[in-house]
Each structure stands twice: as structure tokens, then as C-alpha cells.
């Protein structure tokens, strides 16, 4: 009994979640309301049709072959024309509302996703999220308008039909209604299974999309390791799982439809048998029996159609639950228009007081443990330490991609949490070691540092980054397409485009994940020269992999196992006996 209550509660929660999405209909409520009016008129016309047919039969049975027959026939013709007109406007209005609502929903889903913090993305895969925006939102397309409207229309026909049947013959209607509860109970049972299978199929589609996304993003690695057939088999397994779930769903829906058909035709046979008995006893007229049989067919067919609509609604509820789970995630507070108040202008001073951090997915592991340091404005600071020491994590905290577990991070003596997120990040720039370029042009990638930049500003940034010399050699110049992740550029060219992007942003705080470690000598010289020009007049924080490149740093922070174990300049640290920095330096020199 508890399991049944739990399942019923889950179904009701799903319906409530689906209804939440109806807020996206608000801008189009008048069009939707007008569509509902045409829906009601169309449903009412459907209900009047069997009644008029019954009157036509009864008139013929009574020998009224002239005016009465013509009058009823004209009414029927007018009814058919009216129903056609109502159906046309109903469909047109609902399609307009559907497409506009779907567009708004997609925009909201993407806007919400892009504003979610990094901790959300650590637990999700890109392919899955892409599936939520594409497949799940598409599934909701009809749910918000057409399907629910069809569901309402069918309920009107069933309720109105039964009411008119009760007026026609109480006995015959009660006889017919004895069979309906059995059908409705089975609708609920089948619907529950169909819903679970539909939700499972949605998850499997998301997983298969993830395989495609990751494989194509890492296509170079796939080919280098000759794993084409491994990826084909991996995707094949996922698609077979989707097919098997779909087949199971089809079997369930087929069994459901078969039962409904059996119930409908069985009900019709029973109604005609009972009606013939009442006709023989003089308790019902021929025309009334004719109308009653047509109403039975209408209601039976509607219940059969209701089964399909109900199955689709179950699918929508499954998609809604996954989508609303994402919508329930708390987004970052960011602003489109960054108003730079003088109070928020950074001068470049950074201080950490007992800063500790653990990733949300690994809270038992302390990545940074009571880290403290004081960085003065316009200084070059290097972060040094073995792999896993916490250098990159410290940078993510500076950018507020994550919030510290405990302790304080201050910019110019102001707690970082008091500075608006967009304002803080707008005054910082990152040049990572693994450069990510978008698949568009060089112009688009440089302009990403300041989206409103002019061509002159973009060219100036490219010159300062030593990138103009290779850009000008391309036939298309700034309009050269860089390809997926910038694959059509060399490593050094990608680095210089990224530096140009940072130059264009003109940040007060610059973060560098040493970008020259994997370049040839000529590219390294050009990149290093561009970086030195970029670092002038701003606070620069460098994650150093090769210690020979940071000998001129104003301050070196040596991290090990999440703690700052040494601080100082290169000469000071090299004079320290048994120091970690000295050991690492000597190891690299050897």
C-alpha cells in the first residue's frame, strides 16, 4: 500500500512540475485562450453531430420526408463547415503558441545553464546537457499546447457525451458506464509502466548523445589511438539499449491499445444488444438508439485516443522532471551590463587568510589547507609546486569559479564575496596552457576578450601579442577560420591568439598557466615576448612548470599538498637548505 501511495505521489509531483512550465505560455495567453475557445466550439460541434443524426433518422422513420429532413440536413452541413473552420483556427493558434513558447523555453534553458556555477558542471557531462536542451525541450513542444489541448477536447467529448446519453436513456447509459471503470483503472496501470520506460529512454538518449559529443570533441585522440571501432561499438551498445527500451515501450503500448479496442468494441456490442432489448420494450426510440450508438462510438474512440495522449503526457512528465531538476539549480548572480563603480575598481592587491577548499564532489579531500599570502599590486607572482599541490585550484578561487570552504580571499582589502561577480571577473584575464578557441574566425576569438571591439582595436591587440605577423600572412587575415578548438593553427599561434584576447580585455589581474612549456624555440620566444609586454603594469600570477622562466618573479609561492610551504624570491629560496623549491629546481636542471 505504501508503494502505491509513493507511486501516486510521484505521478502527482510530475504533473505539478509539468504545470510549472505553463508560465512560459504567459506572453501568449490571449492567443492560447482564443485557441481554447475554438477548441470548445469544435468539441461542442462534435457532440451535436450524433444528436442531429439521430433526429434525422427519427424523422425518416416517422415519414417526415420533406421540410423536416431538409432542415436537419442543412443544420448538419452547417455544423460540419463550422467544425472545419473551428479546427483550422484551433490548430493555427496552438502552433503559433507552441513555436513561440518552445523558443522561449530553449532560450531560458540555455541562459540558465550558462549561468550555473562550475560545481554543477563537475557532476554533469556536456552530451547529457545538450540532450536536455534539444531532445527534452522538443518533447515538451506538444505537451505545453497541442497535447494538453487535445486532452481537454477529449475530456469535453467524454463528459458531454455521457451527459447527453443520460438525457437520452438513463438505463442504457448506466449499463454502459459499468464497463468504463475497468478501462480507466487499466489506463492508470499501463500509464505508470509507459512513463517509467519513457523516462529510461530519455536517459539513454542523453547517454548516447554524450558518447557522440565526447568522441567528436576528442576525434584526434580517437584516431591517434586507433579506437574508431571501440567508439563505434560503444555507441552501438547505447543505441541498442535505446532500441530495446523503445521496443518494450511499444509492446506495452500495443497491449494497452489492444485492450482498449477490445473494451470499446465489446462495449458497443453490449450497448446495441441492450438497446435492442429496450427498443423492443418501447423504452427508447429508433433515432435515440441510433444517436446513443454513435455517442458510444465517439466516446469509445475518444478513450482509445486518450490512451495515446496519456502515454505522451507520461513521456512529457519524464522529460519535465529532468529539465526542472536543472532549472532548480541555483545560478550565479551575474550582470549583462557591468557598471564599474569606483569602489569596485581593482588596483591589483590580493590577500588570502587561512584559505581552505574541498571540491563539492570530494568534500572529504582537502585540496587547499589554510593557505595565506599577500600579493602587492603590479607584481609578478609565481605559483610553484609538484602536480596536485593545489596551484590550479587556487586560480579557480581567485576567479570565484568556486567559493572557499573556509577563510577569506580579499582584493584591495575587500572580501571577494562583496564584489559583484561580473565586476570582479571583468577585471581579470586568463591565458591557460591548454588554449580553447571557438570554431569561428581569428577575429571572433580575439574579440571574445571585448565583444564590442573595433577592427583597429583587434589588430592592435594582435600586434602586441606578436600574432599579427602570422595573421597577415593568411589570405583571409582576421577572417581565417581556426577550426574546431583551433586545430588549424599551430600551438604557438593558438597561444598568441589567446594572448591577444587577454590584451584586448586589458585586465588589472592577469593569470597565466605557463604557456611556453610545449612550444618550439621560435614560438616560445615570440610567446614569451608577448607575455612580458602583457604583464607590464598589472598584477600577474603565473603557474610555473619550468622554474627557469620565473627567476625574475617578485614573489614565489611554493605549494605542496595544499599548503604554502615556502615564500620568497628565487635567490632566497635557492639559499634555503633542503627547501622544496631548491629540490625542484635542481631536479629540473639535472
Q: What are phi and psi of 296, to 5 degrees?
A: -60, -45
> Mean pLDDT across the chain, nearest whole number?
77
Give the pLDDT confidence of 75-118 residue by residue, as tens digits: 777 777 877 888 888 888 888 887 888 788 888 888 888 888 88
Which set of grid coordinates corresponds to residue 519? 612550444
Per-domain residue ranges for the chain? 13-327, 348-427+509-590, 436-506
Q: How many CB atoms lie within 10 A of CB 535?
A: 17
Alpha carbons within 13 angstroms on the beta-carbon side of residue 329 total 21
- How far apart are the two ends of the chain, measured CA to CA in Å? 73
Pick the range with the lowest mean pLDDT from 443-457, 521-535, 537-551.
521-535
Question: Regarding the domain delimited by 13-327, which CATH topology (the fold level of the hierarchy) does it fall under?
Answer: ABC transporter transmembrane region fold (1.20.1560)
Report the CATH architecture of 436-506: 3-Layer(aba) Sandwich (3.40)
Burial 436-461 (b: 16+ CB within 10 A, else e): ebeeebbbbbbbbbbeebeeebbbbb
Which set of grid coordinates corresponds to residue 254? 500495443
Q: Does residue 191 have a pLDDT over 70?
A: no
pLDDT value for 3:
45
Q: Does residue 145 have a pLDDT over 70?
A: no
Distance of alpha carbon 114 from alpha carbon 108, whole angstroms? 10
C-beta separation of 299 from 157 below 8 A: yes
Q: Is residue 217 exposed (0-12), middle (13-18) or buried (19+ Cβ within 10 Å)?
A: middle
Give the pLDDT confidence of 235-258 residue by residue, as tens digits: 888 888 888 887 887 777 777 777
Distance of alpha carbon 449 from alpha carbon 27, whole angstroms? 35
Output the CA–CA distances (angstroms, integers) from residue 204 to 93, 254, 468, 515, in the order listed: 34, 22, 47, 39
Output the CA–CA distances (angstroms, integers) from residue 476 to 244, 394, 472, in the order listed: 50, 40, 8
Which set of grid coordinates corresponds to residue 222? 580517437
Q: Does residue 182 have a pLDDT over 80?
A: no
pLDDT value for 175:
72
Regarding predicted confidence, which is higher, 55 or 214? 214
pLDDT value for 200:
76
Per-residue pLDDT, averaged over 444-456, amounts to 85
Q: Which helix (H) or strand (E) holds 33?
A: helix 29-61
Pick the range with the lowest mean pLDDT from 42-46, 180-184, 194-198.
180-184
Distance of alpha carbon 233 from alpha carbon 320, whole angstroms? 31
pLDDT value for 127:
66
Regarding predicted confidence, which is higher, 220 or 514? 514
**Alpha-carbon 59 to chain mean position:** 61
pLDDT value for 8:
47
Topology agreement, domain 13-327 and domain 436-506: no
Give the pLDDT confidence of 12-69 residue by residue, as tens digits: 555 565 566 667 778 888 888 888 888 888 777 776 666 666 666 656 555 555 566 6
Give the pLDDT confidence of 385-413 residue by residue, as tens digits: 888 888 888 988 888 888 888 888 999 88
Highest mean pLDDT among 203-212, 298-307, 574-583: 574-583
pLDDT value for 64:
54
Q: Does residue 4 have a pLDDT over 50?
A: no
pLDDT value for 10:
42
Distance of alpha carbon 78 from alpha carbon 89, whole angstroms? 17
Q: In what order do the strands lie in the sheet with 406-411?
A: 368-375, 350-357, 406-411, 414-415
Q: Going by DSSP bridges, is the β-strand pair 380-384/555-560 parallel, antiparallel, or unpaired?
A: parallel
Give the pLDDT confidence of 467-511 residue by residue, as tens digits: 888 888 888 888 888 877 777 888 788 888 888 888 888 888 988
Regarding predicted confidence, which is higher, 434 or 356? 356
**CA angle 282-287-293, nearest 5°?**
100
pLDDT value for 227:
72
Class in CATH terms, 348-427+509-590: alpha beta
Regarding predicted confidence, which is higher, 271 or 82? 82
Contacts for 324-328: CB closer than 8 Å, 24+ residues apart: 324/17, 324/20, 324/21, 326/109, 326/112, 326/113, 326/116, 326/129, 326/132, 327/108, 327/109, 327/112
Distance of alpha carbon 241 from alpha carbon 361, whole angstroms? 29
Q: How many helices (H) and strands (E) does the chain have?
A: 21, 10
Which set of grid coordinates corresponds to residue 132? 536536455
Q: Which helix (H) or strand (E) holds 566?
A: strand 563-568
Q: How many CB atoms lie within 10 A of CB 141?
A: 17
Give the pLDDT confidence of 323-370 residue by residue, as tens digits: 777 777 888 887 765 667 777 888 889 998 999 998 877 778 888 888
Going by C-alpha positions, the residue among 256, 298, 18, 334 that lies closest to residue 164 is 298
Amino acid at each position: 500500500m505504501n508503494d502505491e501511495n509513493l507511486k501516486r505521489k510521484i505521478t502527482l509531483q510530475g504533473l505539478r512540475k509539468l504545470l510549472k512550465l505553463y508560465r512560459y505560455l504567459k506572453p501568449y495567453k490571449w492567443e492560447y485562450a482564443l485557441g481554447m475557445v475554438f477548441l470548445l466550439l469544435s468539441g461542442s460541434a462534435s457532440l451535436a453531430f450524433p444528436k442531429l443524426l439521430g433526429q434525422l433518422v427519427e424523422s425518416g422513420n416517422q415519414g417526415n420526408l420533406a421540410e423536416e429532413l431538409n432542415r436537419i440536413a442543412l443544420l448538419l452541413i452547417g455544423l460540419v463547415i463550422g467544425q472545419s473552420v473551428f479546427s483550422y483556427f484551433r490548430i493555427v493558434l496552438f502552433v503559433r503558441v507552441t513555436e513561440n513558447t518552445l523558443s522561449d523555453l530553449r532560450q531560458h534553458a540555455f541562459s540558465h545553464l550558462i549561468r550555473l556555477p562550475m560545481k554543477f558542471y563537475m557532476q554533469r557531462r556536456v552530451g547529457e546537457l545538450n540532450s536536455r536542451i534539444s531532445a527534452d525541450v522538443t518533447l515538451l513542444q506538444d505537451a505545453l499546447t497541442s497535447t494538453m489541448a487535445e486532452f481537454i477536447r477529449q475530456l469535453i467529448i467524454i463528459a458531454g457525451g455521457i451527459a447527453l446519453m443520460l438525457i437520452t436513456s438513463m438505463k442504457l447509459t448506466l449499463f454502459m458506464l459499468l464497463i468504463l471503470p475497468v478501462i480507466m483503472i487499466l489506463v492508470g496501470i499501463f500509464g505508470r509502466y509507459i512513463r517509467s520506460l519513457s523516462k529510461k529512454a530519455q536517459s539513454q538518449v542523453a547517454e548516447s548523445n554524450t558518447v557522440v559529443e565526447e568522441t567528436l570533441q576528442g576525434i584526434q585522440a580517437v584516431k591517434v589511438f586507433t579506437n574508431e571501432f571501440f567508439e563505434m561499438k560503444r555507441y552501438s551498445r547505447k543505441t541498442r539499449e535505446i532500441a530495446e527500451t523503445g521496443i518494450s515501450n511499444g509492446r506495452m503500448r500495443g497491449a494497452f491499445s489492444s485492450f482498449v479496442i477490445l473494451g470499446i468494441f465489446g462495449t458497443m456490442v453490449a450497448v446495441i444488444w441492450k438497446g435492442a432489448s429496450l427498443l423492443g420494450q418501447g423504452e427508447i426510440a429508433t433515432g435515440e438508439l441510433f444517436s446513443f450508438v454513435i455517442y458510444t462510438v465517439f466516446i469509445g474512440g475518444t478513450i482509445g485516443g486518450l490512451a495515446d495522449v496519456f502515454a505522451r503526457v507520461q513521456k512529457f512528465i519524464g522529460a519535465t522532471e529532468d529539465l526542472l531538476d536543472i532549472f532548480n539549480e541555483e545560478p550565479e548572480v551575474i550582470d549583462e551590463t557591468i557598471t564599474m563603480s569606483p569602489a569596485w575598481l581593482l588596483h591589483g592587491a590580493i590577500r588570502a587568510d587561512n584559505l581552505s577548499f574541498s571540491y563539492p564532489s570530494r568534500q572529504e579531500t582537502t585540496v587547499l589547507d589554510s593557505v595565506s599570502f599577500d600579493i602587492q599590486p603590479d607584481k609578478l607572482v609565481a605559483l610553484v609546486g609538484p602536480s596536485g599541490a593545489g596551484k590550479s585550484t587556487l586560480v579557480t578561487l581567485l576567479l570565484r569559479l568556486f567559493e572557499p570552504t573556509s577563510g577569506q580571499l580579499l582584493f584591495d582589502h575587500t572580501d571577494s564575496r562583496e564584489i559583484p561577480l561580473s565586476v570582479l571577473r571583468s577585471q581579470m584575464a586568463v591565458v591557460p596552457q591548454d588554449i580553447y578557441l571557438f570554431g569561428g574566425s581569428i577575429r571572433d576569438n580575439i574579440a571574445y576578450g571585448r565583444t564590442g571591439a573595433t577592427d583597429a582595436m583587434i589588430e592592435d591587440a594582435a600586434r602586441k601579442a606578436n600574432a599579427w605577423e602570422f595573421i597577415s600572412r593568411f589570405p583571409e587575415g582576421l577572417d581565417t577560420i581556426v577550426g574546431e578548438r583551433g586545430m588549424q593553427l599551430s600551438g604557438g599561434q593558438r597561444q598568441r591568439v589567446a594572448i591577444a584576447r587577454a590584451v584586448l580585455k586589458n585586465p588589472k589581474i592577469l593569470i597565466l598557466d605557463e604557456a611556453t612549456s610545449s612550444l618550439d624555440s621560435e614560438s616560445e620566444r615570440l610567446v614569451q615576448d608577448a607575455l612580458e609586454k602583457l604583464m607590464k603594469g598589472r598584477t600577474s600570477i603565473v603557474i610555473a612548470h619550468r622554474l627557469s622562466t620565473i627567476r625574475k618573479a617578485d614573489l614565489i609561492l611554493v605549494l605542496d599538498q595544499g599548503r604554502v610551504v615556502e615564500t620568497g624570491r628565487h635567490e632566497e629560496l635557492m639559499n634555503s637548505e633542503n627547501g622544496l623549491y631548491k629540490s625542484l629546481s635542481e631536479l629540473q636542471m639535472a
